[in-house]
Amino acid sequence: MKEYFKHLPSLSTRRLILRRIEERDTDDMYEYSCDRAVSKYLLWSAHESKEQTRKFIRSVIKYYAKQLFYDWAIVEKKSGKMIGTCGFARIDEANNSAELGYVLSRSHWGNGYAPEAAQAVLQVGFCELGLNRIEARYMVENTASARVMEKLGMHPEGVRRQELYIKGQYRDIGYYSILRDEYLSHRNS
């Protein structure tokens, strides 16, 4: 299953290309990864320099080769600009499941790009990788992320109170999931 990510294929949606993250994405990635509003509800903190972003991308490239990184760059077709990432935060091969994750440049929020990209990733997870379950989690204050999960046909599973200690405070983490059968029936309806 993870072998798929060694030679990550590009995906195409109506408005987006999802492809490998490359060193040429440094400027675009830094533009959103240095934005504290973007990283506010994420596990990582805003990047402090373009060099930090460049080092991160170089590590991603190495992780692709080792099949340890499962994200695509989200590229807007119209502009050719990398505007975020979407993919799997982790894959659990033993249980045929994965965790979906995404981040998007603030200048592209509210345009439906996150669900569009995530839908392509769900397609890969269920139809290419044969997963049975895909889940996503979010800090409960991030209601926009919960709305993305709902648009994907995911079902709420509850909140784990103060589950994670992030950026100096305990955070309540909400969970959504979708099963293969649900995805296939949702897609075909």
DSSP letters along the chain, please? -GGGGTTPPPEE-SSEEEE---GGGHHHHHHHHT-HHHHTTSSSPPPS-HHHHHHHHHHHHHHHHTT--EEEEEEETTT--EEEEEEEEEEEGGGTEEEEEEEE-GGGTTSSHHHHHHHHHHHIIIIIS--SEEEEEEETT-HHHHHHHHHTT-EEEEEEEEEEEETTEEEEEEEEEEEHHHHHHHHH-
Question: For residue range 160-171, what is the model confidence (pLDDT) as tens digits?
Answer: 999 999 999 999
Which residues is 80 bridged to in the sheet? Answer: none
Q: What is the mean pLDDT of residues 149-167?
A: 97
Residue 161 burial by CB count (10 A; 0-12/13-18/19+): exposed, middle or buried? exposed
Question: For residue range 75-131, what is the model confidence (pLDDT) as tens digits?
Answer: 999 999 999 999 999 999 999 999 999 999 999 999 999 999 999 999 999 999 999
Question: For residue range 13-64, what is the model confidence (pLDDT) as tens digits?
Answer: 999 999 999 999 999 999 999 999 999 999 999 999 999 999 999 999 999 9
Q: Is the pLDDT of residue 183 over 80?
A: yes
Give the CA angle between residues 55, 59, 60 to the nearest 5°. Answer: 115
For residue 174, give Cα distances in angstroms to 23, 29, 107, 127, 186: 33, 27, 25, 26, 22
Of the candidates 82, 76, 75, 80, the residue with the CA atom closest to the CA atom of residue 53:
82
Q: How far apart are CA 17 and CA 15, in angstroms?
A: 7
